[in-house]
Amino acid sequence: MTEKDKYAVFGNPIKHSKSPAIHAAFAEQCGQHMQYRAVRVELDGFQRAAERFFASGGRGLNVTLPFKQEAFAFADTLTDRARRASAVNTLSACEDGGIAGDNTDGIGLVRDMVANLGWQLQGRRIALLGAGGAARGVLEPLLREHPAVLMIANRTAARAHELADAFADLGDIVGGGYEVLAGHEFDLVINATSAGLYGELPALPEMGLAERSCCYDMVYGNEPTVFMRWAAQNTAWAVADGLGMLVEQAAESFYRWRQVRPATQPVINQMRQLLAAA
């Protein structure tokens, strides 16, 4: 039997990554001869590890925290969305020996909300909580859906202003501290902060949710997150976590590597069952 094409995800920590299970499911579904493993990389060792991986015949890497900016610098060429995000989560070996960088986080988020959940983004009033790498990585795909307005709210207002200025050419976008949300009504609220990882909620002011409002947390787990519970208490019409985004961004990476697009809903269901059993 011929050797399987090698893929991996680099991160630190990486122990609980679902990516190997997701890509194994994609490979089985699509009949692809490949292997995919999770690799914990030392905090100062990303470049050396990536160089070794590709020199040994590796075909593609996913990159998670805290290495997405280092992957951005490592790539020889970048997609427009990766350049906009200033971060890379997908590296691919090219025929000419170079390494191509992409960011599939934003398209993964949009596909989960639109294709899987049936939410409409066009013409909607969107609040995006957080101004870090997670927020930056999804801004371009969100704005390409032509919302009525997108407001970035962050604990440090200056970072939100900076992001809003960087993406102002793509639509009506405003940035500020969390107080910028006060007195406004939103159709969609997206939590891109890491607060949920610590069981915390961003310091949200009194704000309105529209009649058929949707709330989305990029964090996921085997129970509803603190933000999801806040959304339910504030009578959001629909609430979701980020598991679908995880699978959809992985599917986009898989497509870049293998030129085959897997069906994602069966894999989302499979990952949800794994979480429930944990």
Read out DSSP for 52-73?
HHHHTT--EEEE-TT-HHHHHH
What percentage of the chain carries pLDDT values higher than 90? 86
pLDDT at 197 > cutoff 80 = no
**Residue 89 annotated in ligand binding:** yes
- pLDDT grade for 2, boundaries at 50, 70 and 90: low
- pLDDT grade for 277, boundaries at 50, 70 and 90: confident
Cis peptide before 66 (omega within 30 of 0): yes
Same domain, 73 and 110: no
- Domain of residue 159, residue span: 106-243
Residue 91 lies in a domain: yes
Same domain, 55 and 126: no
Residue 271 lies in a domain: no
Q: How many domains is the chain built from? A: 2
Q: Which of 4, 6, 15, 68 is catalytic?
A: 68
The span from the CA of 18 to the CA of 275, in Å, is: 10
pLDDT of residue 145: 96
**Residue 165 annotated in ligand binding:** no
Q: What's the average model confidence in pLDDT over 174-188?
A: 95
pLDDT at 58 > cutoff 50 = yes
Please list, in sequence order, all residues whose beta carbon lies within 8 angstroms of the beta carbon of residue 250, skipping any fewer than 6 positions away: 19, 22, 23, 26, 62, 104, 108
CATH of the domain at 22: 3.40.50.10860
Residue 149 lies in a domain: yes
- pLDDT grade for 65, boundaries at 50, 70 and 90: confident
Residue 253 lies in a domain: no
Same domain, 206 and 83: no
User: Per the structure block, which two tokens stand in for 85?
Assistant: 């995000």
Residue 4 annotated in active site: no
In this prediction the pTM is 0.94
Q: What's the average model confidence in pLDDT over 53-77?
A: 96
**Residue 269 annotated in ligand binding:** no
Q: What is the pLDDT of residues 123-140, one digit of tens each?
A: 999 999 999 889 999 999
Q: What's the average model confidence in pLDDT over 41-66?
A: 96
Residue 262 lies in a domain: no
Same domain, 92 and 116: no
Residue 259 lies in a domain: no
pLDDT at 196 > cutoff 80 = no
Domain finish residue from 102, 122, 154: 102
Q: Are strands 185-191 and 208-217 parallel, antiparallel or unpaired?
A: parallel
pLDDT of residue 278: 73
Domain finish residue from 45, 78, 102: 102
**Residue 4 annotated in ligand binding:** no
